[in-house]
């Protein structure tokens, strides 16, 4: 009977340890995913800045308006053939979106001039920003992996402690 109690105690401890480790894996995956997403966003911002500095401002302005036109065409296709009221509302919304896009596009040459005025070698600056974005992303991913692994190691110790305590209790029962 004591042997059965000891076996039950060990089985229960093993279940607890497995549960701790499963929770740790999930939490570690969340920590890693969150950190990687944050790093990716920061890297993308730097790459966007590099792309903007390296672009022709007139082409960039045209791209903004073209993207807006594409989006409006997609939105109009979604409501095509539905109620006339919806189509009309979408036309009004697209007109407003196009006004905003044209306004933004009109500001691009001035913004580009402002950002590049102090930069002597634009291609070199673009290259540097691109390299920094890549390095920052790699570093952040390594840090995320470290944090994730640290969390797993910490929980592994907890799980091992649960098993050890259960083994001691089982030995007492025997």
Q: pLDDT tens-digit profile of 132-150? A: 999 988 998 899 899 889 9
Cα separations (Å) of 65 from 3, 126, 145, 152, 167? Answer: 77, 24, 41, 49, 70
Burial of residue 77 (number of CB atoms within 10 Å: 0-12, 13-18, 19+): exposed
Whether the Cβ atoms of residue 11 and residue 170 lie closer than 8 Å to each other: no
Q: How far apart are CA 9 and CA 15, in angstroms?
A: 10
Across the chain, mean pLDDT equals 88
Q: What is the pLDDT of residue 84?
A: 87
For 129, residues 6+ apart whose C-beta sits below 8 A from its C-beta are: 46, 47, 49, 50, 53
- Residues 27-63 have pLDDT tens digits of 999 988 998 899 889 889 988 888 888 888 999 999 9
Q: How far apart are CA 105 and CA 111, in angstroms?
A: 10
How many CB atoms neighbour CB 158 within 10 A? 14
Give the Cα separation of 172 and 92 in Å (integer).
Answer: 79
Q: Which pLDDT score, from 0 to 100, does residue 68 have?
A: 95
The whole-model pTM stands at: 0.59
């Amino acid at each position: 009977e004591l042997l059965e109690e000891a076996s039950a105690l060990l089985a229960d401890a093993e279940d607890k340890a497995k549960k701790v480790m499963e929770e740790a894996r999930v939490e570690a995956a969340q920590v890693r995913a969150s950190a990687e997403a944050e790093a990716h966003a920061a890297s993308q911002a730097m790459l966007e800045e590099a792309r903007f500095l390296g672009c022709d401002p007139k082409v960039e302005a045209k791209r903004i308006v073209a993207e807006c036109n594409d989006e409006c065409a997609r939105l109009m296709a979604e409501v095509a053939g539905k109620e006339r009221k919806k189509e009309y509302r979408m036309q009004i919304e697209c007109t407003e979106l196009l006004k905003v896009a044209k306004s933004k596009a009109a500001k691009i040459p001035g913004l580009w001039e402002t950002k590049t005025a102090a930069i002597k070698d634009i291609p070199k600056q673009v290259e540097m920003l691109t390299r920094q974005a890549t390095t920052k992303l790699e570093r952040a991913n390594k840090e995320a992996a470290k944090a994730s692994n640290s969390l797993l190691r910490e929980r592994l110790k907890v799980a091992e402690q649960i098993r050890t305590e259960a083994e001691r209790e089982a030995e007492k029962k025997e």
